[in-house]
């Protein structure tokens, strides 16, 4: 039986792969290169449009636990990421072009996955389908989804600039990972003293922002996880020092002291020729980005290969329309996956694709759909999507707060997280057969 998957991003690729693994023939639809969204530029699948970091790898971290679960569920993306990694301390970061190429080749070489290039503007009317078109779903299809689901919500997302390594002033920059974790050269650090930081702060809060052409009128909602750095700065003089520019865990080897503030630069590619301004997603005008970010020590002559941009993201009011297996309550043959469901983050999107693909295949075979136990990060995220939390529904990334508490409380945070991770992987192992 054929299953249609619309969208070849992270979630769509995982969904297609999981369905194909279970003997389904998959028709995979991707609108690139016939049409690009405002944030996409590559023809390849699984394009990373914001950061190139897939977050922490440590199993005792929420992001690391999610990856461990995904590997055990047969993720197609994580082996590709392993082969394209770049130094990033305790995180898994990738050369984004090599990663996309690896995923594209893997999907294209699967004999059960048939690729169609072109925009889909209608919801499939029959058969089993997975809609994984992402937060930048094209207007035509987004309208159909809104009609089908009784409306959708939107927020604005931002991406950070990328600069060339050769344009950096290394006399003012030092290489180090926070707390000495991982490779020493995983991050480059631009240290600032108090006077330098205060001048930079005044410049960024008064800098001119780019207009949001083509988006909804009014003041946009901005998701906290991708807050533009200038918006964050406007909340108070020290918000950057306790956020993306926090100096904790770092000492300038030239002074032996912790700087007042630090901008970290993370490798964008394996050759180390490009660096991302970590946490500096922005909507400042391009000229203002060059001027204001050029005030940071080491970036005076930085050459920007990509300026920061801001774009609208769309997601469903999922607790009202989706079940925990990611199917539409009013039409169970339709599944949704990825950020359009309200999960936030690359791996969170991919993990929802894994579940949607597994369950689409099971439904096609007439079998009952399955959900990992609530003690797992994958299961907890799927339940959050279908049930929500307190207040209006907002995107959610992997975090230990959505897992059920331990039977026996553990006061030490690190030990508690390790225990939660151990329990999750044990529970997943006990139910792994159900997910086949």
Q: Say whether pLDDT at 359 is over 90.
A: yes
Whether residue 308 contacts residue 244, with contact meaning beta carbons closer than 8 Å, is answered with no
Q: Where is pLDDT greater, at 70 or 125?
A: 70
Q: How confident is the model at residue 219 (pLDDT cuts 50, 70, 90)?
A: very low
| C-alpha span between 412 and 275 (Å, rounded) | 36
Whether residue 297 contacts residue 255, with contact meaning beta carbons closer than 8 Å, is answered with no
* pLDDT given at position 344: 86
CB-based burial label for 150 (10 Å; 0-12, 13-18, 19+): exposed
| C-alpha span between 189 and 169 (Å, rounded) | 11
* pLDDT given at position 218: 43
Per-residue pLDDT, averaged over 88-93, amounts to: 89
Is 183 strand, coil or helix? coil
Are residues 222 and 330 both part of a single domain? no
Are residues 163 and 306 both part of a single domain? yes
Are residues 145 and 76 both part of a single domain? yes
Are residues 196 and 331 both part of a single domain? no
Q: Given 255, 277, 311, which residue is the final one in a domain? A: 311
Per-residue pLDDT, averaged over 185-204, amounts to: 94
Report percent pLDDT > 70 for the chain. Answer: 93
Are residues 60 and 109 both part of a single domain? yes
Q: Say whether pLDDT at 355 is over 60.
A: yes
* pLDDT given at position 265: 95
Q: How many domains are contained in the chain?
A: 2
Q: Given 294, 311, 328, which residue is the final one in a domain? A: 311
Q: What's the CATH code of the domain at 414?
A: 3.50.50.60
| C-alpha span between 5 and 27 (Å, rounded) | 6
Are residues 80 and 139 both part of a single domain? yes
| DSSP class of 91 | E
Whether residue 421 contacts residue 65, with contact meaning beta carbons closer than 8 Å, is answered with yes
Are residues 143 and 174 both part of a single domain? no
| C-alpha span between 45 and 372 (Å, rounded) | 27
The sign of the dihedral angle between the CA atoms of 346, 63, 70, 222 is negative
CB-based burial label for 135 (10 Å; 0-12, 13-18, 19+): buried
pLDDT in tens, 270-290: 778 889 999 999 999 999 999
* pLDDT given at position 215: 42
DSSP characters for 239-293?
Answer: TTTTTTT--TT---TTTSS--SEEEEEEE-STTS-EEEETT----B-HHHHHHHH
Q: Say whether pLDDT at 122 is over 50.
A: yes
Per-residue pLDDT, averaged over 219-244, amounts to: 83
Q: Given 292, 311, 330, which residue is the final one in a domain? A: 311
Structure tokens at 157: 């997302």
Are residues 11 and 90 both part of a single domain? yes
CB-based burial label for 130 (10 Å; 0-12, 13-18, 19+): buried
Are residues 325 and 307 both part of a single domain? no
* pLDDT given at position 217: 40
pLDDT in tens, 299-354: 999 999 888 888 777 889 899 999 999 999 999 999 999 999 989 889 999 999 99
Per-residue pLDDT, averaged over 250-255, amounts to: 91
Q: How confident is the model at residue 221 (pLDDT cuts 50, 70, 90)?
A: low
* pLDDT given at position 152: 67
Are residues 127 and 196 both part of a single domain? no
Whether residue 228 contacts residue 310, with contact meaning beta carbons closer than 8 Å, is answered with yes
* pLDDT given at position 269: 79
Q: Say whether pLDDT at 377 is over 90.
A: yes
| C-alpha span between 224 and 31 (Å, rounded) | 29
Domain encompassing residue 418: 2-151+317-435
Are residues 339 and 213 both part of a single domain? no
Percentages of the chain per state (helix, strand, coil), in multiples of 5: 35, 20, 45
Whether residue 318 contacts residue 298, with contact meaning beta carbons closer than 8 Å, is answered with no
pLDDT in tens, 23-49: 999 999 998 877 766 666 678 899 998
The sign of the dihedral angle between the CA atoms of 324, 330, 332, 335 is negative
pLDDT in tens, 424-436: 999 999 987 777 7
Q: What is the dihedral of CA 283, 284, 286, 288, to 10 degrees?
A: -170
Structure tokens at 265: 């630069």
Per-residue pLDDT, averaged over 242-266, amounts to: 94
Average pLDDT, the chain: 90
Are residues 299 and 243 both part of a single domain? yes
Report percent pLDDT > 90 for the chain. Answer: 66
* pLDDT given at position 50: 77
pLDDT in tens, 342-352: 898 899 999 99
């Amino acid at each position: 039986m054929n299953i249609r998957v619309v969208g070849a991003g992270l979630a769509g690729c995982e969904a297609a792969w999981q369905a194909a693994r279970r003997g389904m023939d998959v028709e995979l639809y991707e609108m690139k290169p016939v049409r690009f969204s405002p944030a996409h530029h590559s023809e390849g699948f699984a394009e990373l449009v914001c950061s190139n970091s897939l977050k922490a790898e440590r199993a005792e971290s929420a992001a690391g636990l999610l990856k461990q679960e995904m590997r055990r569920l047969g993720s197609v993306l994580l082996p590709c990421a392993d082969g394209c990694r770049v130094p990033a301390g305790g995180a898994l970061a990738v050369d984004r072009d090599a990663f996309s190429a690896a995923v594209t080749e893997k999907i294209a070489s699967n004999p059960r996955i048939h690729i169609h290039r072109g925009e889909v503007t209608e919801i499939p009317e029959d058969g089993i389908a997975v809609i994984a078109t992402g937060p930048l779903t094209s207007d035509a299809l987004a309208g159909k989804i809104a009609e089908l689901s009784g409306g959708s919500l939107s927020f604005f997302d931002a991406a950070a600039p990328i600069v060339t390594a050769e344009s950096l002033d290394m006399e003012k920059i030092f290489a180090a990972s926070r707390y000495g974790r991982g490779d020493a050269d995983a991050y480059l650090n631009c240290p600032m003293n108090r006077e330098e930081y205060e001048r930079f702060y005044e410049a960024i809060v008064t800098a001119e922002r780019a207009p949001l052409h083509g988006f909804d009128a009014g003041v946009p909602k901005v998701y906290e996880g991708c807050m533009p750095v200038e918006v964050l700065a406007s909340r108070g003089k020290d918000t950057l020092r306790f956020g993306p520019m926090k100096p904790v865990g770092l000492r300038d080897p030239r002074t032996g002291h912790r700087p007042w503030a630090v901008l970290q630069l993370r490798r964008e590619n394996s050759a180390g020729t490009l660096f991302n301004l970590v946490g500096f997603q922005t909507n400042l005008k391009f000229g203002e980005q060059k001027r204001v970010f050029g005030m940071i020590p080491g970036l005076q002559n930085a050459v920007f290969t990509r300026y920061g941009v801001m774009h609208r993201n769309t997601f469903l009011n999922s607790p009202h329309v989706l079940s925990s297996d990611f199917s539409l309550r009013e039409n169970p043959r339709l599944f949704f996956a990825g950020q359009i469901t309200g999960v936030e983050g690359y791996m969170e999107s991919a993990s929802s694709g894994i579940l949607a693909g597994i369950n689409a295949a099971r439904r096609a075979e007439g079998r009952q759909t399955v959900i990992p136990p609530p003690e797992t990060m994958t299961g907890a995220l799927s339940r959050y999507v279908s049930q929500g939390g307190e207040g209006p529904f907002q995107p959610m990334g992997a975090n230990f707060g959505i897992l059920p508490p331990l039977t026996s409380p553990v006061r030490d945070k690190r030990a508690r997280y390790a225990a939660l991770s151990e329990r999750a992987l044990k529970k997943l192992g006990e139910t792994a057969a159900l997910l086949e």
